[in-house]
Amino acid sequence: MVERSNKLFDCQQLEKLGVPIENLATDSRVVQTGDTFLAFAGKKVDARKLIPQAIAAGANAVIWDSLGFTWNSQWRVPSLGVAGLRGKAGLIADHVYGHPSRKLWVVGFTGTNGKTSCSHWYAQAMNALQKKTAVIGTLGNGFIHALETTAHTTPDAVLLQKKLAGFLQHGAENVAMEVSSHGIEQGRINGTTLSVAVLTNLSRDHLDYHKDMDAYAATKARLFFWPNLKYVVLNLDDILGIELLQQLVRKSVKVIGYGFKKSVANTASEQCQMIYGSNLKVDLQGVEFDIEYQGNREKLKADLVGKFNAVNLLAVVAGLLASGVAFTDAVHALRYVQPIAGRMEKFGGGDQPVVIVDYAHTPDALEKVLMTLREMLNASRKVKELNSVTGRLYCVLGCGGERDKGKRQLIGEVATRFADEVIFTSDNPRSEDPCDIINDMVVGVNSNNYQTEINRELAIYQSISSAVTGDIVLIAGKGHEVYQEIKEQKIPFSDAAVVQQILHDLLGKKIGQI
């Protein structure tokens, strides 16, 4: 594990290198002439062994992790050994790129689900309020209509500071940053000045990496004790949110809680500012609910599908308030937010079944998505007095290879419990055999409402072509992704494109029959 804390590193030491340190690189493969190479060991690669390659590529100096490593005197470039370098890379990068986060208002969103959604809606709202805001996260880094694709939700320490400096240069005032637990643990955000930390929720994921829920929660919790935070925003419908509130109550940081639970809101309002949601209505057109804050009440109607998105919107309202936006302005700005690619994205409808493409890839997300879709089906059945055969819920999904194996069985169980018909298929098997992954998913399933089909396109076709008007088909797990990752190869594949093609072809067939 990486050095835990944001410990001080005296950046004056860099002067000892005697060369200008203007651009950093943590990967030997991207080093260019004049870059300074930061070499440390990870789980897979010890980059210190690649120092010769970095020098050959033109590195002007090398900063290397001195723990358990000796510099080779044959390497004739300026060098500096730093113990625990990975944990300090962010501090060095912050220094080299001119402390960009000190001049920006950086809001960090963490939690198992909802980080991308909340950070994008925060940025959309801020931009609508004429505050130029960039995002860092799963969908890419940059201003929201010009995102650069990224390998990680939270970039490595050097790329992060480089990006922040670039945003500042291009006139950004605010940054909405997704902070993954891997990002916190690996010190990727060390050196960053955060103004606000927002908690969405905590449920099972990534236990391949964190081993147990306590360790996972403890990693996420570190964000809420980040030095110099001005505001903390907590989901008080979530146990971790309540625990953090108790721990933060006597600290100087201001806390805003949010949630839909009246009893919690009443108790919490004595300990923090509270944003409380009520009278929630949801259907396939969107969400509508009331929001109360300090005796004021506003109605928020947004074109976003799913109950959990109402909770996400409360988080965003709180994030906006913490960023100095007035309550009414915050709510008004959120009336125009746009759905996020691959998150409850709607296709079909009318004469065809509704097809939803969504990124649910945790047991909790899948349960919330299927439950909210089920409620919508039940409501529309009541309205239309449809018989019990129509209004069925289909689900197509898989689980990623080389990710938390324990969640597979839980996801399989949730899918078959909440959907009427399930097809288990492939989702980025990576180095694993997709059949093994599917076997892990069905191992605890007692019902027979499922089939398996390794070919994801075929699985989607089978599901959509079995469904009829009034049914909903959920295609879960890959969301915005435009590839299937198989044995280190990314083969082009998009759920949304496949769904649209199938709906188009089926409509053509139907018209042909008339």
Ligand X SMILES: Nc1ncnc2c1ncn2[C@@H]1O[C@H](COP(=O)(O)OP(=O)(O)OP(=O)(O)O)[C@@H](O)[C@H]1O
Could you list the residues known to form a binding site for meso-2,6-diaminopimelate, using ranges.
Answer: 403, 427-430, 477, 481
Using CB under 6 A as the binding rule, whether residue 56 contacts ligand UAG is answered as no
Question: Are 507 and 402 within 8 A, CB to CB?
Answer: no
Kindly tell me which of 136 and 275 has the beta carbon lying closer to ligand UAG.
136
Closest CA to 108 of 160, 165, 175, 202: 175
Binding residue (CB under 6 A) for ligand UAG from 20, 42, 324, 444: 42
> Please, which residues have CB within 8 angstroms of residue 56's CB and are 6 or more apart in sequence?
none
Quick one: how far is CA 295 from the chain centroid?
Answer: 32
Altogether, the residues listed in the chain come to a count of 514
Using CB under 6 A as the binding rule, whether residue 353 contacts ligand UAG is answered as no
| Separation of alpha carbons 430 and 439, rounded Å | 16
Binding residue (CB under 6 A) for ligand UAG from 101, 133, 153, 312: 153
Q: Which does 172 bind (CB under 5 to 8 A by kind): ligand X, ligand UAG, ligand API, none?
A: none
Binding residue (CB under 6 A) for ligand UAG from 3, 17, 27, 482: 27
Kindly tell me which of 256 and 315 has the beta carbon lying closer to ligand UAG.
315
Using CB under 6 A as the binding rule, whether residue 311 contacts ligand X is answered as yes
Q: What is the 3-state secondary structure (H, E, C) of 252-276?
A: CCEEEEEECCHHHHHHHCCCCEEEE
Smallest distance, Å, CB 432 to ligand UAG? 14
Pick out residues in 176-195 that bind ligand UAG (CB under 6 A).
Answer: 180, 182-183, 186
Q: Which does 400 bind (CB under 5 to 8 A by kind): ligand UAG, ligand API, ligand X, none?
A: ligand API
Q: Which does 477 bind (CB under 5 to 8 A by kind): ligand X, ligand API, ligand UAG, none?
A: ligand API
For the annotated binding site, the residues are 28, 111-117, 153-154, 180, 186, 188, 403, 427-430, 477, 481
SS3 235: strand
Question: Are 199 and 110 within 8 A, CB to CB?
Answer: yes
Smallest distance, Å, CB 112 to ligand API? 10
Kindly tell me which of 138 and 161 has the beta carbon lying closer to ligand API.
138
Quick one: how far is CA 443 from the chain centroid?
Answer: 28
Q: What's the alpha-carbon Rg for the chain, to the nearest Å? A: 24
Percent helix, strand, coil in the chain (nearest 5)? 40, 25, 40
Kindly tell me which of 131 and 480 has the beta carbon lying closer to ligand API.
480
Kindly tell me which of 115 and 162 has the beta carbon lying closer to ligand X.
115
For the annotated binding site for ATP, the residues are 111-117
Binding site for ligand API (CB under 6 A): 361, 400, 403, 427-428, 477-478, 481
Kindly tell me which of 61 and 365 has the beta carbon lying closer to ligand X.
365
Kindly tell me which of 29 and 297 has the beta carbon lying closer to ligand UAG.
29
Binding residue (CB under 6 A) for ligand X from 133, 161, 192, 200: 200
Paired tokens of 448: 């027979």
Q: Which does 154 bind (CB under 5 to 8 A by kind): ligand UAG, ligand API, ligand X, none?
A: ligand UAG
Q: Which residue number has the CB closest to ligand UAG?
A: 42
Instruction: Read off φ and ψ for residue 198, nearest 5 degrees.
Output: -115, 130
What are the C-alpha distances in Å from 273 to residues 222, 374, 503? Answer: 21, 34, 47
Using CB under 6 A as the binding rule, whether residue 359 contacts ligand X is answered as yes
| Separation of alpha carbons 434 and 137, rounded Å | 28
Using CB under 6 A as the binding rule, whether residue 47 contacts ligand UAG is answered as yes
Enumerate helices (H) and strands (E) in the chain, giving the number of each.
Answer: 17, 23
Question: Are 376 and 368 within 8 A, CB to CB?
Answer: no
The DSSP symbol for 222 reads: G
Beta bridge partners of 79: 62
Smallest distance, Å, CB 288 to ligand UAG? 30
> Please, which residues have CB within 8 angstroms of residue 323's CB and are 6 or more apart in sequence?
105, 107, 126, 131, 174, 195, 196
Residues of the shown chain interacting with ligand UAG in the complex, contacts defined by CB under 6 A: 26-29, 42-45, 47, 50, 152-154, 156, 180, 182-183, 186, 209
